[in-house]
Amino acid sequence: MEIKLVKDILQANEVIAAQNRELFAQKGVYVVNLMGGAGAGKTTLLERTIERLKGRRRMAVIEGDIATSRDAERIAAHHIPAVQINTGGECHLDGNMVRVGLEQLDFDGIDLLVVENVGNLVCPAEFNIGEDAKVMISTVAEGDDKPLKYPLMFQVSSVLLLNKMDLLPYVAFDVERFRADALRVNPRLEIMPISCTTGQGLDTWLRWLEERTGLQAR
């Protein structure tokens, strides 16, 4: 009974996600669903991304949070269109929440829309929102055992950003073990070690985004 209900919820979500996907295609906007645990550095990565794409791609952001509009305020300070969705306790964004957010967002002429999901390594992985790609952040501070312990998010993501590489000297984290486990869970995963503090690896991430967005990509 409970399983049946979960199935219904997920199926209803797929319908709305498909409608979102159609709208994104009409507008010619590439959409990234950015996921990761609380404190993995999603908003900071977004800030670094906005700074570096300035003048090269037109970006907009939807911020998903349980409470507060702090992240949307951080993004809006960079003078790009940003909308906050407060989930009111819910642990993830779904297609319908994103649809409601889209109604408040003017994204004509936007090349790239990043939807920052609720900080949670588990639930957001279950819900499509109509995105072109799921991108996840994990960090060296979180430990190298995450791919096998939280496999779904690693399975559904196209890109895995391994953040906080600047902390590597101070933590017990085996990058090769992490990489091997992540690829065992998802052999197609593109793994990019980065640091939003030092800038390490951000060029690779930016190149990945630029290849998928903007006029030459259409």
Can you give the binding site for its own copies, defined by CB under 8 A?
2, 5, 9, 37-39, 41, 65-68, 70-71, 89, 91, 118-123, 126, 139, 141-143, 145-146, 148-152, 164, 166-167, 170-171
Q: Which is nearer to its own copies, 57 or 164 (CB)?
A: 164
* Smallest distance, its own copies to C-beta of residue 146, A: 6
Closer to its own copies by CB, 13 or 49: give it.
Answer: 13
Closest approach, Cβ 109 to its own copies, in A, equals 31
Instruction: Compute, in degrees rounded to 10, the torsion defined by CA atoms 179, 184, 186, 190.
Output: 30
Q: Output 128 or 213, the one with its CB closest to its own copies.
A: 128
| Minimum distance of its own copies from residue 92's CB (angstroms) | 9
Pick 167 or 183: Cβ nearer its own copies? 167
Residues 6+ apart with CB under 8 A from 77: none
| Minimum CB–partner distance for residue 157 and its own copies (Å) | 15
C-alpha 29/C-alpha 31 separation (Å) is: 6
Closest separation in Å from C-beta 103 to its own copies: 21
Q: Do residues 213 and 57 make contact, with C-beta atoms less than 8 angstroms apart?
A: yes
Cα–Cα distance measured from residue 162 to residue 73, given in angstroms and rounded to the nearest whole number: 25
Question: 149 vs 207, which CB is nearer to its own copies?
Answer: 149
In the bound state with its own copies, the residue whose beta carbon lies nearer, of 9 and 77, is 9
Distance of alpha carbon 215 from alpha carbon 174, whole angstroms: 40
Give, for 13, the enclosing helix (H) or strand (E): helix 2-27
Backbone angles phi, psi at 156, to 5 degrees: -90, -10
CA of residue 52 relative to chain centroid, distance:
17
Q: Which residue has the tokens 């991108």?
A: 135
Question: Least Å distance between CB 180 and its own copies?
Answer: 15
Determine the Cα–Cα distance for residues 24 and 16; give it in Å rounded to an integer. 12
